[in-house]
Structure 1
Amino acid sequence: MNAPATPPGKRPPGPRPAPLPVGAPCPRPGCDGRVESTGFCSTRGHAVRCAAPGGPGGVPPVPESPPTAGARRRAETAQLFTVGPAGDGLLDLPVISTPSPEALVVTDPRVPAGGKTCGHEGCTAVVGRSYAGQAALPVGFCDRCGHPYDFTPRLAPGDLVGGQYRVVGCVANGGLGWVYLAHDMRLDGNPVALKGLINDRDPVALQREKEELRVLIGSDHPDIVRVINFVSHKDSTGPGGDGQDKDSQDGDGPGGDSSHTRYIVMEFVRGMHLSQVRDRITRGEGPFGEDRVFEYVLSYGCRILDALESLHRKNLVYCDLKPNNVMHYADRIKLIDLGAVRDLDDRTGHVLGARGFTAPEVVRMGVEGLSVRSDLFTLGATLRTLSEGCGKQPPGLGAESYARVLARATAADPRQRFGSAREMAEQLRGVLREIRSLRTRTETPEPSTLFAATATLLDASLGRVPPLERWLTGEVRPLLDPGLPEPGRVPHHLPVPYPDPADPAAALLAQPTTSGPRRLIQQLYASGRETVEICFRQLRAHLELGELDAARERLTTARALLGGLAPYDWRLCWHQGLLCLARRDTEAAQGEFERVYHALPGEYAPKLALGYCAEKAGAPADAERYYDAVWQRSRSTQGSAVFGLARLRLAAGDRTGAVALLGSLPEVSRHYDAARIACVRVLAGRLEGGDGPLLPDRSDLAAAFGRLPRLYLDEGHHAGPARDRLEAEILEVALERVAVRAGAARTGSRPPAGPGDSTDDEEFTLRTRLEAKLRRLARQAPAPAGLAALVDLANSVRPKTRF
């Protein structure tokens, strides 16, 4: 009887040929070459690593497609997927429509292009690479550690595994095993994935498979691949193998029977690896070529971090995160290939990780370097790989915030990285909201978990009705003050950090209090506690009292309490920045807030502080980038940012732009009324110009007078001292404008007033109204001298009688 034909992709029965050692003579007749570490002849480049047993005549290895063909195959597979637009939600991803599972089967499962990392006992050498244009060898030895490798698939189409799963073919290979598509014959042919081992002779790999089984069985996270079953299958390629299924569903672990190979049965995920998504991003293809691409990358990061957090809570680390180990299916993601997952309490064995994605301390120390932070490094490297080929950049400050969040995640010193997956996810979401808001110019607010929104406004005067002293200083026609606060007052207008929940005094500090700063300092001392957060709270109280030396002493105590963690605690930098502002050292404060921004790239508080520092330093372009990022993200709570943007417009002489910004503050904002007052003052204000004060035109003044009755002033009353002062300010400017135009017309430097412009009747009306307002202001004077000054001012603007 003729022997049955060997199925495609499967090695003929019988023992494997023994590879020749490095340096052995080339087995080809008449060849004087030697076997090199690549597995090829040194003279003629023959593939000679696998020699036929019992004779010098070598047999060629299983034919192998060159790497370019493998890359072409991956590209062809990727084209089977269609990608539709994403929804409008913050974390929404493009929708991937998948082909039939059978369309994903690889017809020529060979050595992966570029080879694979050996991984045996931590060996980082690459095995199975092509040589001199020839295909790579599927079987051989690592030239560094000498360990054998075998990339030949164990299963062929039609094999029945475990008496239940009919193999269709190979679809991929992971770090340790081939992945096959199979149909569950007991569940109406439902597609499943079978994963076995590449190096089934490797006890380390076998132990890792046990770990993967344990992790998969215990995992119930929707973004982690789900295990269904585990079975073993008779290895037809081993000694005496007959190719028939001798399935087992008992508890035998991998390697319990050398003639059986263990397979994990998992849900079949029909989607693209993120490495395929990266290719589409690089090509700018479909939704991955849109301006929203960085938002998709950050969405991947947030979803992956949620899955990692579920592992970390079980004291497990993933270790081997990379684009090939994450799949995008439909509008979701799934972590696959958990063979490298390990318990943090297990410090034995070796770490499996991909080159370029493994944290440096793990490369240097092995398992001793593993931690939650090493996992976060792999995620940062994965996100960077996805985005580095993108031709587009996030708008505004978004590009810098994105770069900073990756820089912290991949810092060489693990203590400089994020402390947990949840902490990193919060910052990723913050950067995502920032980029989305800057792109769409619509807010995407989310309360900060680190900073409390302040009730005060980063504005010295623009949003306030001018005080009575404005008319008592002797300066009759002052320029409009844009309201940039002095550095010493800024610490009181910036957001306040929430107490660290881990601080022993967190509960005490979270209690509301009506005590003033002096009494609060005394009460905290009386508590008998000396914690970092108590020092910070006392520091802010001392700044409020102007006691800078005492504030510096509290900062020194907090640094001492933190000990070796002090260089990595952003709270120290924040409070040092506040102290520098109180000392009017804006440049030093900017450096401290830069460090906070690096640590917390998704937070708005350090950007608001940096915006002020840049504005104070005379760098309007930098200030605008910071203010705009804060303002666009949360317009209802970030009134300080829009006032900063308005000041920048006023400095450029853009009255209309400043009013438009201030007028866009939502009514729900606590600073809404201040913004409406500021609009009126800007419309009627004297701005600094090149040749003198820049006065508003007729339409600006009309708009100011039109807005005045709608302002909420004097506790809602239609008349009162605040409304009188604001109206008097507008009338003064209106009268000045009339006088300037009248004087210009008399001298001939400007044409006479035309229809609808200033007239003598208009001047008479303005003088009459202003005189009445100034006499009303005189009633607000606290002293006789002020009363007299205001009466004199009223008399000076009194119109001449017509009779």
Structure 2
Amino acid sequence: MTAVSRGCAERNCPGRVDQDGFCRLWGHECAGASAGSDVVDGPAREPAPDPRPPRTASRPWERPAVLPTARPHDPLSAVVAQPVVPEHSRYCPQTTCRRRLPRVAGYCPDCGTRYSFTPPLADGDLRAGRYRIEGCLGNGGVGWVFLARDEDMDGAWRVLKGQRNPEDREAAAAFVAERQALIALNHPRIVTITHALRPESDRDVGYLVMEYVDGGSLEEARSTAGPGGGASAVDVAQALGYGVQILDAFEYLHDQGWLYCDLKPENVMRVGGRGAADPIKLVDFGAARRIDNTVSPAWGTAGFTAPEVERLGPAGPSVRSDLYTVGRTLAALTLVPRSVDVTRIPAGQDVLRLPVPARLDPFLRLLARATAADPDDRFGSAAEMREQVRGVRRQVSSAGDGVPRPTRSTLFSPSACAFGLHTDGDALDVVEIMLGLPAPLVDGADPAAGFLASLGPADPAELVELLKTAPERTAQVTYRAVRALLAAGRADEAGPLLADFPEELRDWSLWWHRGLVALVGGDLATARRRFEQVYGWLPGEVSTRLAYAVACELDGDPRSAADHYRGVWDADPGVVAAAFGLARCLLAAADPRGAADALLRVPESSRASTVAVTCAVRILLDAPDDGRRLDAAIDAAATVDKLPPFGEREEVEAHILRIALGCDLTEGRHDGRRLFGQPLDEDALRRAFERRCRSRARRTADRRERIALVDLANAYRPVTWW
């Protein structure tokens, strides 16, 4: 008998466990795994060898590096000592041949084409009478890159890029495309071309002269950012910041009719000396092409290229394939320590199986949509993707440092999300939830947008009748009618209104409203699937994540619901429904202290602060002593002190005093602290509790309650001789 590979028990890990109990994909020890487990009868045999090189870290995203601010590099430090094209990249330049060539120069033995994989310029060469070559910086997909000084500009540093092999006609065409692109483009996130040099011989295709970007590439920066100066994954929030800048450049490129096609960390350069802004520029436009070009060879890099480009060749590149490379670049920066390892990271929905922390869930969903196998499932434009990248960055950053980053949505109406403001999971009202969730904003391009804007507040039944007078039955009119019918208690009429929309329609508003119909109709599993789909399309929107959290809670999955409630609450403390939802889920998980802490974070400026504090104090009163109840009582008292007067204040204060009296007040770590102005002295707190009970007793009209409060006051009053 021999141990067989089995699935890893770690959360969401897609790896397999070897006979020693270690995950073969990520390298960590699997919880619950043991050598010799999961055996089967049969002849012993050696496990199949893993062709992948060993990993340097089990889960790179767990120990990411925050790249320091870029500083100007000495240009000469980037010069390659012995530049030569690596053997794995040496192919015959003849398109119909493409034989692998081990030598650096000569003639192809198959077709006789002359080739050379050494740089055509040497140190000290002078081009155009002004550009003095200082060394070779390396080579890209189609060209050589040289460092030079501009002698006509007081020795200013410049970069010259020329074709790698003049005999390679496809590369020559790509180089011409780069020259045309760079001359026409002008954007702060795109490297600037300063001069285009004409060929000086029959074997020379000319050179592009570009600005020298002095901060190094993202790949270079992270290659020494890890422990001991090794390679490291990049902090997700920082990588998303680079993503926003990249998408700024892509939006401009696409508007100008160009595709970049070959985005990867090596082609993103940082500008040194700009402080915390850490700006970047895109370089290496060798693969750039016009959007309408369907005949030129498609260039890209393994692991970053969209599947349709690999499948269709020249007809594959598009705006959506460009955005695919952005998703893969973000994955390469954050999920592996080196970009060459990105081929191990799945694309599309499979990326959601990675065992990342819950706080990174919106990031994985962003990657899943950006790298979907079907181009129609990806983001439709750089601007659309950039908006979601910004939203995901806010969520990830807030989950990491605890600093809220609320913002106004461009897709959903402002809403206090004041529903479910209690801690009783059995008392949730689906209609209240439907009315409390933010509503999608009306699409301004809809023909009935003006009519919908003219509708004021109205009773749901009245609104249903008003919507029947719409000049045109558009999608937006239908969605508004669905919400009105649900609010009026006519859920059976709302569903059929959406039946005529095709199932393949990728309109997130449609699936949002189908989720509402399923929610109010009691089909909670379907509601969860619908809202998860919308959340996957719009991972940067806290509104979609909130709806998915509610659906998870109602569907009986408090653990998942708590993760998403917490993500919403960390990012936007104005969404008080998330705080109460998180508290309910933590109570279900037997974590009363965590539930109370969540409610005590509701800001005093919120209308729900009184309810939140009252619920938190009652939770603490009923919770077992975990050694920190006195800390919680002091924190709760400080919160109550900041609140304006409210009816239940004395009751809440009495609860807090009662909690404190049940704790050990002799602990020295609380010396000097006070509770409602009283020192942490037992007699002082007993008197304060007695006063509040007697005050409440005087105001109540219920005789039994009055007697109970007086008895409680007498029971807690300090012992005296009279």
Same fold at TM > 0.5: yes
Query: SS of the counterpart of 1:158?
Result: coil
Is 1:115 matched up with 2:95? no
**Which position in structure 2 is the counterpart of 1:440?**
401
Provide the residue aligned with 1:639 in structure 2: 576
The Cα offsets for residues 577-629 of structure 1, whole Å up to 9 and x where unpaired, read as 11111012222211112212221222212221232233334433322211111
Q: Structure 1 residues 232, 419: closer, same or farther in 2, change over 3 A?
A: same
- Judge conservation of contact 1:95–1:329 (CA < 8 Å) in 2: no
Work out the CA distance in 2 between the residues paired with 1:550 and 1:142.
Answer: 75
**1:454, 1:152 → 2: CA distance?**
63
1:261 to 186, 205, 211: 205
Residue matched to 1:540:
483
1:650-700, CA deviations, whole angstroms, 9 ceiling, x for partnerless residues? 4566655444433322344xxx2322233134424797789xxx9xx9999
What code does the residue aligned with 1:643 have?
F
Question: Are residue 487 (structure 1) and residue 427 (structure 2) matched?
Answer: no
Once residues 246 and 355 of structure 2 are traced to their aligned partners in structure 1, the CA distance between those partners, rounded to angstroms, is 21
Q: Is the 8 A contact 1:490 1:581 kept in 2?
A: no
C-alpha distance in 2 between matches for 1:536 and 1:633: 28
Rounded Cα–Cα distance in structure 2 between residues aligned with 1:448 and 1:232: 51
Change (3 A) 1:285 1:509: farther
What SS class does the counterpart of residue 207 from structure 1 fall into? helix
Instruction: Identify if the C-alpha distance between structure 1 residues 137 and 763 changes in structure 2 by more than 3 Å, giving closer, same or farther.
Output: closer
Q: Which residue does 1:663 correspond to in 2?
A: 600
Partner Cα separation in structure 2 for residue 667 and residue 388 of structure 1: 39
Q: Residue 140 of structure 2 corresponds to which residue in structure 1?
A: 174
Aligned with residue 300 of structure 1, among 231, 236, 242 = 242
Provide the C-alpha distance between the structure 2 equivalents of 1:621 and 1:609, rounded to a whole number of angstroms. 15
SS in 1 for 2:195: strand
Q: Is 1:630 the equivalent of 2:591?
A: no
Shift of 1:140: 4.4
The Cα of 1:400 is off from its aligned counterpart by 2.3
Deviation per CA, 1:191-222: give whole Å up to 9, x if none: 11111112323443333333222211111111
Name the amino acid aligned to 1:664.
R
One-letter amino acid matched to 1:603: E
Number of aligned residue pairs: give it. 609
Cα 1:177–1:531 change in 2 (3 A) is same
Q: Any residues of structure 2 matched to 1:531-570 within 5 Å, and which?
A: 531-557=474-500, 559-560=501-502, 564=504, 566=505, 568-570=506-508
User: Could you tell me how far 1:351 is from its partner in structure 2?
Assistant: 1.4
Give the Cα separation in 2 of the matches to 1:198 and 1:177.
4
Structure 1's 306 and 686: CA in aligned 2 closer, same or farther, altered over 3 A? Answer: closer
Provide the C-alpha distance between the structure 1 equivalents of 2:96 and 2:544, rounded to a whole number of angstroms. 42
What's the offset of the Cα at 1:735? Answer: 11
Shift of 1:519: 2.8
SS of structure 2 residue aligned to 1:261? coil
Measure, in 2, the Cα distance between the counterparts of 1:704 and 1:438. Answer: 23
State the match for 2:180 in structure 1. 214
Q: Is the 8 A contact 1:227 1:265 kept in 2?
A: yes
Number of the residue aligned with 2:554: 616
Distance in 2 between residues matched to 1:116 and 1:206, nearest whole Å: 16
Counterpart amino acid of residue 400 in structure 2 = R
Q: CA deviation at 1:160?
A: 1.4
Q: 1:647–1:230: structure 2 CA closer, same or farther, 3 Å change rule?
A: same
SS of aligned partner of 1:449: coil
What residue is the counterpart of 1:449 in the other structure? Answer: 410
Counterpart pick for 2:73 among 99, 102, 105: 99
Residue 188 of structure 1, aligned match among 154, 176, 184: 154
1:227 equivalent in structure 2:
193
Q: Partner residue of 2:542?
A: 604
The residue aligned with 1:376 is: 323
Match of 2:164 among 198, 206, 217: 198
Q: In the aligned structure 2, how far is the partner of 1:708 from the partner of 1:320? A: 57
For residues 579-594 of structure 1, the aligned pairs below 5 Å read 579-594=517-532
Q: Is the 8 A contact 1:768 1:799 kept in 2?
A: no
Tell me, in whole angstroms, the C-alpha distance in 1 between the residues paired with 2:544 and 2:417.
16
CA contact (8 A) 2:592 2:623 kept: no
- Partners of 2:621 and 2:434 lie apart in 1 by 28
Return the TM-score normalized by structure 1: 0.67
Which whole-Å deviations, capped at 9, do the CAs of 1:56-115 have from their partners, x for residues lacking one? xxxxxxxxxxxxxxxxxxxxxxxxxxxxx97xxxxxx63233432223222322123531
- SS of structure 1 residue aligned to 2:197: strand
Residue 337 of structure 1: aligned partner: 284
Aligned partner of 2:120 in structure 1 is 154
1:298 to 1:285, Cα distance in 2 relative to 1, 3 A: farther
1:488, distance to aligned residue in structure 2 (A): 3.8
CA contact (8 A) 2:448 2:471 kept: no
Q: Is the 8 A contact 1:226 1:266 kept in 2?
A: yes
Q: How far apart are the structure 1 equivalents of 2:109 and 2:490? A: 69
Q: Which amino acid aligns with 2:294?
A: R
The residue type paired with residue 310 of structure 1 is Y
1:524 aligns with 2:467: yes
* Distance (Å, rounded) in 2 between the aligned partners of 1:553 and 1:170: 67
Give the Cα–Cα distance (whole angstroms) in 1 for the partners of residues 402 and 223 of structure 2: 29
Residues 483 and 120 of structure 1: CA distance in aligned 2, closer, same or farther (over 3 Å): farther
Kept in 2: contact 1:680–1:704 (CA 8 A): no
Using the aligned pairs only, state the percent identity.
35
Q: Deviations over 1:332-389 (max 9, x none)?
A: 2221111221112232222122223221111222232221001011122222222232
Q: How far apart, CA to CA, are the structure 1 residues paired with 2:412 and 2:372?
A: 24
Greater displacement, 189-198 / 640-649: 640-649
Whether the 8 Å contact between 2:422 and 2:615 is mirrored in structure 1 is: no
Query: For residue 367 of structure 1, what is the amino acid of its counterpart?
Result: P
Measure the CA separation in 2 of the matches of 1:704 and 1:731: 12
**Pairwise CA RMSD:** 4.0
| Mapped pair 1:273 → 2:220 | no
Instruction: Tell me if 1:311 matches 2:253.
Output: yes
- Aligned residue for 1:21? none
Give the C-alpha shift of residue 769 in structure 1.
Answer: 5.1
Structure 1 pair 420–443 and aligned structure 2 pair: CA distance change class (3 A): same
SS for the counterpart of 1:418 is: coil
1:390–1:161 distance in 2 versus 1, CA, 3 Å: closer
Q: Residue type of the partner of 1:433?
A: R
Instruction: Supply the distance in 2 between the matched residues of 1:422 and 1:369 (Cα, whole angstroms).
Output: 21
The answer as to whether partners of 1:327 and 1:336 remain within 8 angstroms in 2 is yes
Question: Is 1:398 aligned to 2:359, yes or no?
Answer: yes
Among 322, 334, 342, the alignment partner of 1:387 is 334
Is residue 445–residue 633 contact of structure 1 (8 Å, CA) maintained in 2?
yes
What is the TM-score of this pair, normalised by structure 2? 0.74
AA at the equivalent of 1:268:
Y
* Counterparts in 2 of 1:220 and 1:765: CA distance versus 1, 3 Å: closer
Q: Secondary structure at the match of 1:556?
A: coil
Unaligned ranges ≥5, structure 2: 1-64, 273-277, 339-353, 662-680, 715-722
Q: Deviations over 1:433-478 (max 9, x none)?
A: 222111111112222222223234132546xxxxxxxxxxxxxxxx
Deviations 1:215-274 (A, max 9, x none): 111111111111101113534xxxxxxxxxxxxxxxxxxxxxx25431111112223333
| Distance of 1:342 and 1:120 partners within structure 2 | 21
User: Any unmatched runs of 5+ in structure 1?
Assistant: 1-84, 87-92, 131-135, 236-257, 463-480, 715-722, 739-753, 776-789
Shift of 1:293: 1.7
Q: Please tell me whether residue 673 in structure 1 is matched to residue 617 in structure 2.
A: no
Aligned mates of 1:210, 1:553 — CA distance in 2: 56
Pair 1:325-2:267 in alignment: yes
**Distance in 2 between residues matched to 1:639 and 1:312, nearest whole Å:** 40
Distance (Å, rounded) in 2 between the aligned partners of 1:191 and 1:712: 64
SS at match of 2:608: helix
Taking the aligned partners of 1:233 and 1:415, their CA distance within structure 2 comes to 43
